[in-house]
Amino acid sequence: MRGATGGVAVTRASRARRLAAGAAYGGTGLGLAGAGLLGLLRLQALAARRRVEARTSKQDPPSGDGVYGRGRGKPIVFTVLGDSSAVGLGVTRATETPGVLLAAALTELAERPVRLVRLAVSGAESCELDPQVEAALVQRPDVALIMIGANDVTTRTRPSVSVRHLADAVRRLREAGAQVVVGTCPDLGTIRPIGQPLRLLARRWSRQLAAAQTIAVVEAGGRTVSLGSVLGPSFAQDRSLFSVDEFHPSAAGYAQAAAVILPALADAIGVWPARAERGRLRRTSVRPVAQAAARAAGRPGTEVRATEVRGSGTGPLGPWARLLRRRPSELPTPEEAGQAREASVG
């Protein structure tokens, strides 16, 4: 029988989880606003979708799959899963995609070859990760990056459904021995084709999903990096970070996202040098995972991963998580990324 203190702690943890995950998308108070506002939101969503689809490239950029860098030892197998943000839709060269930029950076840090396998699919939702995971398992990855969530928001999929599929993907990859890093849902409240008040709601939904993703991923054994603010305020101020469709990032935008993902990715496989933390680590703290998730959702480049306090991975409010905020890292230029690929086959 649980004591009163234990019951209160469980209740608080449950409440924190509900706040982080957010209510179902219909539970935003819109029901009280009347049919007029709901009709406006539908019209805004339809207009935004048409505008984006009219400008979006119909072709994905080249995958860039292959081996990067030289060196002794078996290549590190790096798989990239997710949606169009993981594909790099919006750019034309493979060397401008996040997968290639990160593979080229990892080979420099590890001083070993890195074999990139891009399995992401443009338009994918979290419920469509399963075939990507199946394909990844065949590759026996050492580390996997998942970037997913935007399409779950635009289709108004319930966060509980989205994160269940994401957690299953992370769990399967971890059981196969792969380290997993997830770039959480970007902030869709910065998308110019979306008008107000839909833009405000898109931001809220994005952050709710990002927080829910963080909880699920950490508990499944992975780690997350918040992309909400990275693809958020700075994007709102600098339109050059968007591609011509004003929805997907440009080459500069993908480079910015990759720069905040790199430390977590490299650290996950043990090649992030300790000296790199000096001057780059802004802040670190330990919190219950639900609180950590809610905090990370609105802070650029925040990494969240499981940790222990006094030898225990779980406290009165649930699993412990460590938040790390690092300054973005330097990445190889697209030209240098291309040279890394050429070096491997030269």
Question: How far, rounded to the nearest angstrom, does the alpha carbon of residue 105 sit from its chain's CA centroid?
Answer: 18
Tokens describing residue 207: 């952050």
Beta-carbon neighbour count of residue 44 at 10 Å? 19
Whether omega before 316 lies within 30 degrees of 0, making that bond cis, reads: no
Could you tell me how many residues make up the chain? 346
Choice among 63, 83, 84, 329 that is catalytic: 84
What spatial distance separates the first Cα and last Cα of the chain, rounded to whole Å?
68
For the question of residue 248 being annotated catalytic, the response is yes
Question: How many Å apart are CA 176 and CA 207, to the nearest integer?
Answer: 30
Choice among 60, 65, 168, 245 that is catalytic: 245
Q: Residue 212 half-sphere exposure, CB side, CA atoms within 13 Å?
A: 28
Residue 138 burial class via C-beta count within 10 angstroms: exposed 0-12, middle 13-18, buried 19 and up: exposed
Residue 44: in which H helix or E strand, if any?
helix 35-55
For the question of residue 122 being annotated catalytic, the response is no
Tokens describing residue 2: 């649980």
Instruction: Say what the alpha-carbon torsion angle 165, 171, 176, 178 is, to the nearest 10 degrees.
Output: 100
Choice among 83, 152, 248, 329 that is catalytic: 248
For the question of residue 243 being annotated catalytic, the response is no
Q: Which residues are catalytic?
A: 84, 245, 248
